[in-house]
Copies of this chain bind each other. A is one copy, B any other.
Amino acid sequence: MTEIEIRSAMARAVDEAREKNPLAPSITNTVTQDFVANAQLAVGGSAAMIYLPDECESIMQVAQAFYVNMGTAMPFYEETLPRAVKACHELQKPWVLDPVGIGLSELRTKLLLQFKEFKPSIVRGNASEIIALAKLWGLIDTADGQVRGVETTEKVSAAKVAAVSLAKCTGGAVAVSGEEDLITDSKELILCAGGSELFTKITGSGCALGGVMAVYAAVATPFIAAMAATTMFNFAGSKAAAQVNAPASFKVHFLDNLYRLEPNDISKSFRSANSLEGMFEFGLTPRVD
């Protein structure tokens, strides 16, 4: 895809989500459910959080996409998660995986191994998590990313090979979040700048990003969905950081901006790519294969 094609596909996704209000239910951690749901609503989506396996199967009959964030695993996840993602796979509904906490327990390892066959449309995580997942799935045999709680210090570039391998494996997209964000579908690989340091001072911005990716995945390809959500977050976050300088008011302004941003803003933020204030840097590694 050319840069111009990507830009206009992203703008279309942002527009269509507002118009169609796609339902993107989640199994997500209990800490940030409110943030995830409000971010999904802010971009025009519809939210529903679920724990029971048959309810996941049932809601996927009417939903357009699904989001799985492994955050605060509970005992019944052992049954719920595989049945939910199997339903997505069989119904050919896109689903987004955030493998947060990978490596923390045998249950997570077991579940994440099962997920491989159900091919998440988008995998989103920090560099350590993406590296650890690619290793778990036997796609790379390099160093195990250091996972420390839910944080990472790894740079996204360290996860380049892992991300591309995962994208090849799933046939979908992979988004590595960090100071910059790396997004690839194994053919395109884009590094997005923008956002704000304040994202690291509020809980759940990564979770909310995954939830919004699921909303866009209902109306666009995995790659465009990951790009659109990331761009929205970076732009809304940059704006919020220019408006306020502390985390709680940053979160309020960020969500407000997410709601107010228009497809045009996405294009505008892209137009500044090569300017001095350039928020987006395309094509640092335009092709990887």
Q: How far is the CB of A117 from chain B (nearest CB, A)?
A: 24
Is there an interface contact between B248 and A252, defined as CB atoms closer than 8 Å? yes
Segment 239-264 of A: residues with Cβ below 8 Å from B = 244, 246-249, 251-257, 259-260
Among A57-65, A162-170, A222-230, the stretch in contact with B: A57-65
Report if A82 contacts B (CB, 8 A).
no
Question: Beyond the given A51-B72, A248-B255, could you list 4 further A-B residue pairs with CB under 8 A, ordered by the A residue number?
Answer: A34-B35, A38-B203, A52-B107, A247-B256
Question: With an 8 A cutoff between CB atoms, is A287 at the interface?
Answer: no
Interface string of A173-201 (1 = CB under 8 A from B): 00000000000000000000000000011
CB–CB A49/B31 < 8 A:
yes
Contacts of A29 in B (CB 8 A): 49
Whether the Cβ atoms of B203 and A55 lie closer than 8 Å is: no
Residue of B nearest to A35 (CB): B34
Q: Report yes or no: A204 in contact with B52, Cβ–Cβ below 8 A.
A: no
What would 25 A/B residue contacts be, using CB atoms closer than 8 Å?
A29-B49, A30-B30, A31-B33, A31-B34, A31-B37, A31-B49, A34-B35, A38-B203, A41-B200, A50-B72, A51-B72, A52-B73, A52-B74, A54-B106, A55-B101, A55-B105, A58-B104, A62-B149, A74-B76, A201-B259, A246-B260, A248-B253, A248-B255, A249-B253, A252-B252
Instruction: Flag if A148 contacts B52 (CB, 8 Å).
Output: no
Number of identical monomers bound together in the oligomeric complex: 3
Kindly provide the distance from the CB of A105 to the nearest chain B CB, expressed in whole angstroms.
5
B203 & A52 in contact (Cβ 8 Å cutoff): no
Say yes or no: A202 contacts B38, CB within 8 Å: yes
A128 within 8 A of B: no
Inter-chain CA distance A33–B253, complex, in Å, is 21
Residue pair B260, A256 in contact (C-beta under 8 Å): no
Residues of chain B within 8 A of A255, CB atoms compared = 246-248
Nearest 6 A/B pairs, CB to CB: A246-B256, A248-B255, A37-B203, A31-B33, A48-B149, A248-B252
In the complex, A31 Cα to B73 Cα: how many Å? 15
Chain B residues, CB < 8 A from A256: 244, 246-249
What string of 1s and 0s marks CB contacts (under 8 Å) between A254-278 and chain B? 1111011000000000000000000
Measured between alpha carbons, how far is A47 from B101 in the docked complex, in Å? 12
- Give Cα A204 to B203, complex, Å: 16
Complex Cα–Cα for A150 and B26 (A)? 13
A151 part of interface (Cβ distance < 8 Å): yes
Nearest-neighbour CB distance to chain B for A241, whole angstroms, equals: 13
Q: Which residues of B contact A101 (CB under 8 A)?
A: 48, 55
B residues in contact with A34, CB < 8 Å: 31-32, 34-35, 203-204
Chain B residues near A105: list those with CB within 8 A: 52, 54-55, 58
